[in-house]
Structure 1
Amino acid sequence: MTLRCLVADDVRHNRSLAIHWLHELGYSTMEATDGEDAWRIVKQYPLDLVITDIEMPRQSGLELIQHLREHDDPNVAHTPVVVMSSLQDDLLETAALHFGATIVLHKPLDREDFLQAANAALAKDASEVRGKPDPDTLLDEESHPGVISPTLRRIIDRTRDRS
C-alpha cells in the first residue's frame, strides 16, 4: 500500500525538495502553498502524513494543525504532522507540539533527518496526539519562559482569533 503525504509550504523549492525525498521512499504526494489549500486537500483525501511549514500566507501551519486536531473524524484528527520551519524562535518546538505536531524539523532541511522524521511520525501512536490547544497557555510567560519572536506571537494570536 502506498502511503499518501501532503506537503504544505509557500516556498516552492522546499515543497519540491520534500516531495522528491518522499518519492524516493515510495510515498504518493500532494502539495499545497499554504494552510488553507492544505486544509481543502485534507478534507478531500485520506492522508497518512502531513508535512507543513509554520509561516505561510492565508493560513499558518499552526492553524492547519489546529483544524486537523479538532476534526470529528479520528483518522483526520490523528494524522501525524511533521513541522518544518526556518523560524528562529526559542518556543517554536513547544508551540508546534502544543498545537499537536508530531515532530519538528528546522530548515534548511537535511535529507536523512527529514526522512527519519517522516518515518518516525508514521510510527508514533496516534493516541499521543493532544486535544484542543490553548494558545493563551502558550503565550503565558510563566508557563513557557523564553523569548518568543514577534512572528511566532503573531501566528499564535492569529490562530487563537480564528478558533
Structure 2
Amino acid sequence: MNARTRPLTTALLFQGGLVVLALALAWLFGLRPWAEVEISGWSLLLSLAATVPLAAALVAVPGGRWRWLDELTRLVRGFLELLFRNARPGAVLLVSLLAGIGEELLFRGVVQAGLASWASPAAAILIASLMFGAAHAVSLPYFAVAAFLGLYLGLLYHWTGNLLVPIVVHALYDWIAIHYYLRRR
C-alpha cells in the first residue's frame, strides 16, 4: 500500500469493519437484521424514488448563501479528494456500497431495531439518528445534516420494514454525493 492509496484503503477497511461490527452486535443481542432484507423490484423502485429528494436537496441548495454550508462543502470536498483523488472508478461504488450496508446494518438494523424492542419506535428512530449524526460529527453542521439523514433513513426503515430500502438509499446517495462534490468547483 502506498501513500496514494492509503486513505482509500483505510476507508474501505473501516466501512467493511462496520459490516463485521454490525453482524457481531446483532449476534450478541439476538437480532437478525438480514431477515428484514427483502429484495424485490418494488423495494428497489421505492429506494430509487426515496433517493430523489436527497439528491435534489444536494444540488438545489445554493452555494454562497450560508457560511456554515460553504464551510461544510469545503470540508466534505477536501475529505473526498483525499480519499478518491487517484482512485479507480469502482472505488467510489465500493465505498458507497460498504457504507450503505455497514452503516445501515449498524444504525437501523441493530441500534434502531434493538431499541424498538423496548422503547417506542419514535424514540428508537430518534436515538439511532442522533448516534448516526454523532458518528459523522466532524463539525456541528455535519452532525446536524447526518442526523437529519439518519432520521430520514430511520423513517424509511420503519415505514417499509425492509432494511434494503435504507441500505440502497444510503449507498446511492453517497455515490451521487461523492461524484457531485468531486465534480463541483
Q: Determine which structure has more spread, i.e. the larger CA radius of gyration.
A: 2
Greater RCO, CA 8 A, separation 6+ = 2
Fold equivalence (TM over 0.5): no
TM-score under structure 1 normalisation?
Answer: 0.29
TM-score under structure 2 normalisation?
Answer: 0.27
Instruction: Identify, as 1 or 2, the structure richer in strand.
Output: 1
